[in-house]
Amino acid sequence: MSFQRKKMQESVTIDGADISVWTEPQVMHLSRSPAMFMINWNDMHDFNHRIAKRMLELEQDEKFTHLMPNAGPKIKNIHKWGIPEAELIHERAMEFFSQATANPRPTVDVAWGNINRHRQYLNPHSHTNCVGSVVYCVDTGDADPENELSGRFVIVDPRVEECCPIEPGRVTLELTPDMKPGTMLVFPSDIVHFVHPYTGHKPRMTIAWNMK
């Protein structure tokens, strides 16, 4: 299902307070060629636990859940999750993409939550029918002191300079953003990315959007 943004929503009301969609966060370059960006939404620690609870609730609803082999359930249609915290992060994702691409009216092709449990992972892939992808970390799950790559989101693409420090076009290094709860990334959808096998037990949760 595709849905287009009509105009920027300036705030979302949560517990009687108006929370600004765009709070002038520090935008960092994840890569300059091609351009990829990262934000840490420091105020989301107040809301992530409610998003996580809603994802676990909707996991039980077959209308929302699509099971991915080896990767766990996808919770579809964030714009229908029915809680203001999900509305807030959805609006922030759209605004981040809009500013990164200079597109004032982005269209979301698909948007979904991911729940990863022990030994689940995501194979290397890219996305079609979209221009850019956004990933948001709700909960990193359990840290594994013996495996720092557990559940890590990774970019490995010969077009990304940071992946090719020795010779252009030859991948010799993974680009592993430091994602923590509240971190949001935007990158071109054709960039190859994956998630390392998760060795924790507490659910690892993210949200993703494909936009154009």
Tens of pLDDT, residue by residue over 25-73, are: 899 999 988 999 999 999 999 899 999 999 999 999 999 999 998 999 9
The answer to whether the pTM exceeds 0.85 is yes
Nearest of 173, 181, 129, 133 to residue 154 by alpha carbon? 173
**Phi, psi (degrees; rounded to nearest 5) at 156:** -135, 100
Per-residue confidence (pLDDT) for residue 3, from 0 to 100:
46
Per-residue confidence (pLDDT) for residue 8, from 0 to 100:
75
| Residue 13 predicted with pLDDT over 70 | yes
User: Residue 103: how many CB atoms within 10 A of its CB?
Assistant: 16
Nearest of 13, 140, 7, 137 to residue 87 by alpha carbon? 13
Per-residue confidence (pLDDT) for residue 170, from 0 to 100:
98
What residue ranges define each of the domains in the chain, with the CATH number in brackets? 28-211 (2.60.120.620)
Question: Chain centroid to CA 60: how far?
Answer: 22
Query: pLDDT category, 6, cuts 50, 70, 90?
Result: low
Tens of pLDDT, residue by residue over 150-183, are: 999 999 999 999 999 999 999 999 999 999 999 9
What does the alpha-carbon distance between residue 98 and residue 13 come to, in Å, rounded to a whole number? 22
Per-residue confidence (pLDDT) for residue 2, from 0 to 100:
42
**Chain-wide mean pLDDT for the chain?**
94
